[in-house]
Chain A
Amino acid sequence: MRKLLNNITMALGVLLLVSCGDLLDVNTDPSRVSAGEATLPTLLPSAQRFTANTLYGAAQYGAQYPQYLTGQAIGQFTPYGFDQLWQPFYSDAFPTLQDIITRAEAVGAFNYSGIAKTLLALNLMTVADVYGDAPYSQANQGTDNLYPCYDKMEDLYQTHIIALLEEALSDLAQPLPSLPSLRTVQNDLIYGGDLAKWTKAAHAIRARYFLHLSEKQPGALATAAQEASLAFSSNADDLQLLHEQQNPNPWFGFIGNATNKPMQPSSYVVDLMSGRGGRFQGAADPRLPIYMTRSGTNPTYVGLTPGRLVGDQPTANVNLTTASWHTRDVAPIQLITYAETQFILAEALFNTNRAESYLAYRRGIEASMRKVGVAEADITAYVDNPAVGLSPATLTLADILLQKYIALFLQIETWTDMRRYQYDPSVYVGLEKPVINQLPGNPWVQRSNLADEEPGVNTCVPSGVTQTSPLWLFQ
């Protein structure tokens, strides 16, 4: 017995003295990795997916403001803070892109940093266009700055976005890194590592940037046209993220495949594409049955009146379904397209080179139609319809912006266009305010509210933010 006891005591002693450290040094999570194990090729695909989520998130409910969709009380209900944009940008896309930039610059992998800066500029511009002021220079610093103050929209535009865009171009033009494993960009879900295409994409984003900036600096219009001409040469160059059945496009889950649709196409876009919108009168747009599905016996496409809730208007007979081009499971999330660059060109040259403006207008329509699979004969028939085809002399800004409106269906960029023109009914012909709006006085919505979650966790938020005050860019 005594011996047994001795053995137990010894065993315990051993346990206590020898294996204390072994027992206690176990606080490394086996299901995750350390910063050192992350690499540029493994961060890049994450950053690209997060960028697509950010742009989708901005449009998910934001698509109600340019009246693509309607039917949700929240679109009009105060306050709305664009959480679906705020969250994926600040906690996903921004940290991952910044991570790539820091790591890439440290090892001279300017091919990676050029791509990351291109995408970060696009993300940041979207955030600025929705929120105006937004955290950037103090953001993304973890516990080093728990309460990041907001940069002025003016500074985001004049300083930060342009700096990213300048560096993006110069990085993409740098010699390839010396390290063989970094010379080719790996796991590029968008362009397969083709830096020439990334350079075109950077020019496209610069074109969008200078077009926006022309609101404040009219001279930027010429630069926008110049950048647009350096950008994409066909639909094949589009900056977009294709989805697959295994990872369907988020629009598919949100609306396309939903049994109870949260939103429906609005009467504004349906009327415009049906040739009864006041512009392109009588020209039935062949993209209409591709964009949306009509149900019931009424052969006429009827959209839901903006402001109405889904189900409140029995005559509405259109929906986005699994067959609709934008809400299919394998549909791409479009970040910026060839068609958009043509419309930028058309708008930028409208007063200076009407002939080229007109050609760009037609190229934009044709590109948009080809992209969604309209037959060539139907494309020709549509653009040759006098109501659409017009002539350099009869072309108006309304035509350019309305065709851009149709081509950029479900993209949040259109909301920026509308606010650049302050919902001008001579540009957005027939546009009316939603019939029900919880904002007192039914004003046009000018911007997002503060992100819903910000007050309470950030002590440095701007005060006096309302959805009705125009942003710096649009003042």
Chain B
Amino acid sequence: MGSLYSYGQIRITGQVTSGKTNEVLAGVTVLERDNPTNGVATGPDGRYTIAVSGPNAVLVFSFIGYRTREVPVGNQQTINVGLAEDARALGEVVVTAFGVEQERRALSYAVQEVDSRLIQETNQPNAINALRGRVAGVSIQSAGGAPGAGSTIVIRGINSLNPNANNQPLFVVDGIPISNQTNLTGGRAGEQADLTGGRAGDIFTNTNRFADLNPDDIASISVLKGPAASALYGLRASNGAVIITTKSGQAGKTTYNFRTSFSVDDVYRTPPMQERYSRGINGVYNPTDYRADGPPIPPGERVYDQWDQVFRTGHQFQNNFSVSGGTEQATFYASLGRLDQTGVVPNSEFERTTAKVTGALKASDRVRVDASANFINSQGTNPRSGVGGSGVVSYASRYAPDVDMLNYLNPDGTQNRYSTQLDNPLFFAENAYQEEDLNRIIGNVGLNYKFTDWLALDYRAGIDYYSNNRRIITRPTVLIAATSRGSISEQSLTYQEINSNLLLTGERQLGENLGLTVSLGNQVTAINTTDVIGSGTNFILPDFNSVNNLGQYTVRSFPTERNIIGVFGDAKLNYKETVFLNVTGRNDWSSTLPVANRSFFYPSVSLAYIFSETLGLSQNRFFNYGKIRASYAEVGKDAAPYLLGTYYSTLPPFLGVAGIRQSTTIGSERLRPERTKGIELGVELAFLGNRLRVDANYAIQNSVDQIVPIPTSRATGFITYVANAGEIQNRVIELVVDAEVLKARDFSWSSIFNFTRLRGKVVSMPEGVDVITFQPESPWVKQRIQTGGRPGDWYGWELSRVNDPGDPAHGRLVIINGYPDVNNNWLGTPLAQDTHIGNAFPDFEGGWNNSFTFKNFSFSFLFNFRKGGDAFDINRRMRYGSAGGESPTGAETNLRNRLVIFDGVINTGTREAPVWVENTTPVVIDVSSLYSQSFRYRLAKEFNGFQDASVLRLQNVSLSYSLPKTLLAKTPFSNLTASVTGNNLWMTSPFIGFDPEQSAYGPGSNVFGYVGTNIPATRSIYFGLNATF
């Protein structure tokens, strides 16, 4: 005893437990506050012993997932501490604008957060895909199963009249916006510059640039859905914002994590193909006709399945190593990730290497600095696909079943082509493709300075830079390059975005019941892009893949610059932690608008009221929490660069002379900022001690004064003029139900259900423009935007049916000359006058996730669903055209070359007074009759590939097993988990074809519902191992 005191020390012992459950906590750091080198950790029993300098010492207890607690020693010798769980760890805190963490209860607008575990569990290399089916109000569509294929994320619907506009939200990583641009092949680089690109579809399913991020580095993703949530981010967040927080180090033991997974990917859903008829036309065998309308294939003759022949098994091999740790003063996180992927068609692969370092330093009680650097390199190759008929999948769908696709090379290496109309898909894949590589750096530094305990300054600057080199090779040996004798395009794109954010935050308690937080900020954004493209035709040597090998070529350069300065204020008033009022205002100055209009202000106001507090329900066992919220917000939006004024462009030289011409777009000197205005009403309820939580929203968003390139009569001398015009309204209902169904000692079951119902409406169109038609593929099925309609409205021909409800024949097909009539042509409706046949967007969609844990096992599955919404399967139209496929009526196999009597009625009366009698006229169903005499019938929506795209899908199933801690105690490992995961395992849909939910137009476009030409989505099964030590 005496000796101890002689050193002036006190010996303290105690036990640390979880304040809520009273479980003992092992590994809790116990430090003497003023002597941080003096620290210990609690043992497996939660006990600790520490010698401190004296009674004035203060002990600091800290542990991941719990609130740090300080306890003055005084004259105690035993200090038992219960630590409170940190709200953040319980999902009670969400990250909102500028990385500000807010208590969920104080939020007055809709935000939904997705935890990293759910993201990593899916093993999706593109983290956006991991969000699919998990967030209400958010629709995610992949462009297909090609390695590196992009995905589209749309929050609360399409809000632009421009089919080529980018409707995607702003992506923010650790407080700094980064690019999620998709640079379409043939489009222009630069944010929003794709005013005309993409009409032909993205033939290489180019990636969305957020996919560069290593999903393993992500700690959480919050989706800010409406303008109220994203108002502070300014104009670039007018379509919502996706806020990503990446992993950072935690004080304590240095931990190492290694995660590996290997996948088996295959195409799990293919269209049926006919296997009865050989090459030829009208039943006559012709081995060089690509159409399969020859005679029946003789018995015993080999028949090939086109899909088995063109698709193979793909693989993903993902490895990720991370190390993190630190002290109370300094923490770090570093990771190295690697993805190697081979696709399901030949010549298709993707690889990505990522490296990330994050560090934070608490330089003093007042100063905290942090920095992060992320380097990404990716390389990929993909064969051509896309909306036109020239793609691997399109060719395969037209290949005759009596030809062996695998036998595609002659001994001299040339293509063994059975018809001059069609390339062999495998040969095509190897001779028409895109190679690309990308280097990207995302970095930021931040400084946080506390002036006082209520006033802090946060400054953060970040850069996102990438350079992307693309080479598109189309060798002269493939049909599409026969005329041009081969073509190559080499493109070098760079993107640089620099952001500077300054935020000054003051937080005061104004009296007992009133709290006020005010933030003032400044943001400067500078975006520079370059796009240099050298392209041409006429190969000099057959196998030299370089623009230097071209007889004719041009080089073009399209740089852009766009700068935005914003200042904003945000005031939060909190009354008794019960009523929360939030008012924001932001003013932006954008370089892309006319000087007179380039400064614009927009406000938001939102209110939340936790009525359960007033009613004193917080301890109620059944209904313990209730909040209502309401908000109104506006977000302004600028234009793309260089839309003001009218320019002249240079033409490539002709006979040695280069000319100049006036551009075909009229810029406007009078552009104003666009506005998105949103009203949102929400309710949040919790029952049974938070075990059942319901969050529901109703939101109306109007996008007005849209800056759109309006198609104009060419007789004006121009093709488009740019103006503020049109209004689109989206009304959305979002529902999230989150239940902890069971929680026992060894077993738990939690369930999250989300539901979205979205209705878009075109409120007004630009003056003089009745309709904007998107007609990329077939004149018989097109999308139209017109006043009173909805975005995604389909127009086309449908089979005519008797529409008099009083007639016994009501609803039956109208038959003329033996074939079904279309588009009420029998009533005199001109064929050119299309009718509304559907909408590309679903009636509702959602997802249902269930997670179970049993001892060391955990198991989860996610279903997602969409009801309604029609897709146009371009592939089916092609299959039909070449007689390869099978229609639902079996017209091309069961009925083929046979006489059929269509089940319908013929009119023996007049147009005005029809008299319907049973159709008895037999007609032959063969390729030529389907082409010519009855071409109308063939092009009716019921037969040309237009279908209901409702889907119920088992999106993800994951099973993992962690070795018990007791077994690991004697090993260096603290955790060892093995897992099996499946994505896209099962689906049911009335849709016949590949996956109905993969847009042929890909990200970077507003066009949805066209499907069937890209590399199909795959079913993937992953085997994974995760070790922490």
Chain A positions near chain B (C-beta within 8 angstroms): 1, 5, 8, 12, 15-16, 20, 23-35, 37-39, 42-47, 49-50, 79, 86-87, 90-92, 94-96, 98-99, 134-135, 138-143, 145-148, 187, 189, 242, 244-247, 253, 257-260, 436, 451, 453-454, 456-459
Contact = CB atoms under 8 A, between A and B. Distances in A.
A78 to B, nearest CB: 8
B715 interface: yes
Given A24-B565, A90-B717, A246-B552, A147 B647 contact: no
Contacts of A33: 647-650, 660
Nearest to B786: A456
7 tightest A-B CB contacts, nearest first: A46-B659, A135-B715, A90-B714, A458-B713, A32-B647, A29-B642, A95-B717
A146 B771 contact: no
Contacts of A46: 651, 659-661
B773 interface: yes
B713 A454 contact: yes
B449 A29 contact: no
Interface stretch (B20-28, B228-236, B429-437, B590-598): B590-598
Given A42-B660, A187-B659, A258-B483, 6 more contacts: A1-B366, A8-B459, A32-B663, A148-B716, A259-B483, A456-B770
A456 B647 contact: no
Interface centre among B367, B592, B644, B714 (most CB of A within 10 A): B714
B559 A259 contact: no
B663 A146 contact: no
Interface string B755-768: 00000000000001
A95 B770 CA distance: 25
A50 B556 CA distance: 20
Nearest to B591: A24
A90 B654 contact: no
Contact of B479 (A50, A259, A458): A259
A140 B715 contact: yes
Interface in B663-691: 663-664, 666, 668
A454 B769 CA distance: 11
Given A38-B648, A90-B714, A27 B661 contact: no
Contacts of A45: 654-655, 657-659
Contacts of A189: 654-655, 657
Nearest to B772: A456
B666 A143 contact: yes
A240 B714 CA distance: 26
24 contacts: A16-B522, A24-B565, A27-B644, A31-B557, A33-B647, A35-B662, A46-B651, A86-B714, A87-B714, A90-B715, A95-B718, A140-B716, A142-B666, A142-B718, A143-B666, A148-B716, A242-B655, A257-B482, A257-B485, A259-B482, A451-B714, A454-B715, A458-B713, A458-B715
Contacts of A99: 662
A32 B649 contact: yes
Contacts of B817: none
Given A29-B641, A31-B557, A46-B660, A20 B715 contact: no
Contacts of B661: 43, 46, 50, 92, 95-96
B717 A258 contact: no
Contacts of B653: 246
Contacts of B770: 456
B789 interface: no
Contact of A245 (B551, B598, B645): B551
Nearest to A87: B714
Contact of A24 (B485, B590, B711, B716): B590
B719 interface: yes
B196 interface: no
Nearest to B481: A259
B664 A91 contact: yes
A464 to B, nearest CB: 13
B712 interface: yes
Nearest to A259: B482
Contacts of B449: 1, 5
B666 to A, nearest CB: 5
Contacts of B77: none
A141 B716 contact: yes
Given A37-B648, A146-B713, A456-B773, A26 B522 contact: no
Contacts of A459: 768
Interface in B354-374: 363-364, 366-367
Given A15-B500, A258-B483, A456-B773, A24 B648 contact: no
Contacts of A20: 565, 589
B780 interface: no
Interface string B483-504: 1110000000000000010100
A26 B560 CA distance: 9
B548 interface: no
B646 interface: yes
B454 interface: no
Contacts of B421: 260
B1029 interface: no
A27 B714 contact: no
B558 interface: yes
A354 to B, nearest CB: 43
Contact of B559 (A27, A31, A258): A31
B913 interface: no
Contacts of B485: 257
Contact of A49 (B484, B591, B654): B654
Contacts of B304: none
A24 B661 CA distance: 28
A148 B713 contact: yes
Contacts of A94: 717
Contacts of B889: none
B420 interface: yes
B721 interface: yes
Given A12-B502, A25-B591, A38-B648, A91 B563 contact: no
A436 B560 CA distance: 52
A440 B690 CA distance: 72
A79 B832 CA distance: 9
A33 B642 CA distance: 11
B109 to A, nearest CB: 29
A458 B714 CA distance: 9
A146 B483 contact: no
Contacts of A31: 556-559, 649
Nearest to B598: A24
B516 interface: no
A344 B511 CA distance: 100
B86 interface: no
A245 B717 CA distance: 30
Interface string B529-559: 0000000000000000000000110001111
Contacts of B641: 27, 29
A16 B523 CA distance: 10
Contacts of A16: 522, 524, 565
B648 A148 contact: no
Contacts of A32: 642, 647-650, 663
B715 A23 contact: no
Nearest to A23: B563
A254 B647 CA distance: 31
B84 interface: no
A295 B228 CA distance: 71
A286 B500 CA distance: 76
A434 B558 CA distance: 49
Contacts of A79: 832
B526 interface: yes
Nearest to A25: B591
Contacts of A146: 712-713, 716, 721, 768
A139 B715 contact: yes
B561 interface: yes
A260 B651 contact: no
A427 to B, nearest CB: 32
Nearest to B559: A30
A453 B660 CA distance: 26
Contact of A1 (B364, B522, B592): B364
